[in-house]
Amino acid sequence: MACHASIDKKGGAHDAIVGWGDQIFSTISQKMNELTDFDTIKQIIDATIEEDCYVEECPAGRVRQSNPYFISESNGCGSFGYQWKKDLLPDEGLEDCCNVHDHCYDECGADKDICDLEFKTCLYSVCKSRKHEWTVNELKACKGAAKLMYTATQAFGCKAYQNAQKKACRCVGVSHQDL
């Protein structure tokens, strides 16, 4: 059941968006307190600060290839222990966008910026598809949630992308036939 039914006419989109924002920041704060690995926190912060999100290069004489043993997985909307609850999303279709986004990050050599733009397009498409079914406030709430989700990916997605690329790719030696 989608959350849009619980948006009342008085509180409207603003209250729904503020509620989702509170949920995000409260959960992030709680998860950061639970993290005992200072290096992980530092890596997330460092990756957030960087303008570009780079993946580790292969050592000289080796090239990046898809890891044949890696199986792409999706976990809905979230990473590093934070999950958007599906029943609190304005539309359950938003979770499908998150799963596609996870699989995009899991493709060896994927471009993070392209994955993120496709994610944004998907999120807004879900909201737009409900345009004739929802009130103006419900539509605003969906677009607000989509914006928060996309912005969170921009702010905190680098480390998740780097981790996914590390699993999806492997460095292999170049054969003499390839030279």
Tens digit of each residue's pLDDT (9 = 90 or more) over 105-157: 999 999 999 999 999 999 999 999 999 999 999 999 999 999 999 999 998 89
Q: Is residue 2 part of a domain?
A: no
CA angle, residues 69, 73, 74, in degrees to nearest 5 = 165
- In order along the chain (179 residues), what is the average pLDDT of each group of 10 residues? 41 57 56 52 55 87 95 88 81 95 97 97 97 94 94 91 96 71
Residue 176 carries which side chain, given as an amino acid letter? H
Q: Is residue 62 part of a domain?
A: yes
> Which candidate in 4, 91, 101, 102 is catalytic?
101
> Is 102 part of the annotated catalytic residue set?
no
> Which candidate in 91, 102, 106, 116 is catalytic?
116
Q: Is residue 6 part of a domain?
A: no
Q: Is residue 155 part of a domain?
A: yes
CA-based torsion, 93, 148, 17, 137: positive or negative: negative
Q: Which phi and psi (to 5°) does residue 162 adopt?
A: -60, -45
With tokens 């960087």, the residue in question is 50
Q: How far apart are CA 48 and CA 55, in angstroms?
A: 14
* Number of domains the chain is built from: 1
Q: Which has the closest alpha carbon to 67: 168, 176, 136? A: 168
Q: Is residue 35 part of a domain?
A: yes
Its domain, for residue 125, covers 12-178
Compute CA distances 28 → 34, 35, 41, whole Å: 10, 10, 11
Q: Which has the closest alpha carbon to 165: 85, 22, 65, 79? A: 65
Token pair in block for residue 165: 């690329």
> Is 101 part of the annotated catalytic residue set?
yes
Residue 4 carries which side chain, given as an amino acid letter? H
